[in-house]
Amino acid sequence: MTILCDYEIKALCTDGMVPNYDEALINPASLDLRLGDTIMIESAENLNMRPLSIAGRTAENPYELKPGQFILAQTIEVFNMPENIAGLFFLKSSRAREGYENLHAGYADPGWHGSVLTLELKNSRQILSLPLWPGLKIGQMVFFRMSQQPVTSYSVTGHYNSDITTTASKQFLSGI
């Protein structure tokens, strides 16, 4: 596998891999991703996590992620991964140094399509809350060209295609 560089990422995004990308967010070997406007928080009433809109929140008036709190969040960016490209999500190093934690499930299979990336975020701090608002640069996607195209695409086997908002585990509640 080969990590893609800036001009390769731009060409793929322009061709529809990330149709709503912002060219200003392209780095030498990654694409910055921004936080979307829906998160999911725990519900004391049942096992389901419940959606919560953070639309309208800003850096000056953010949603406060409490110490130890776990949420699901989404990216603004929508993905349509080509059959020979995979991606890995990483927190921005500044976010990690501030105390945000990502539970490392941000993998984009070849063929994954029509979806925002759902992020598993946690505040690792013990005392201070961390701010969240739509548009916050939360992480970056590193893209890889596969050595060969897979026999079976995620477009056929995947459970998380066409997810246009934050999506809780489909396996946890349904036994998939």
Active site amino acids:
120
Q: Which amino acid is at 32?
A: D
* 92-113 residues labelled b (16+ CB within 10 A) or e (exposed): beebeeebbbbeeebebbbbbb
Rounded to the nearest 5°, which phi and psi values hold at 6?
A: -50, -50
Token digits of residue 129: 């809350």
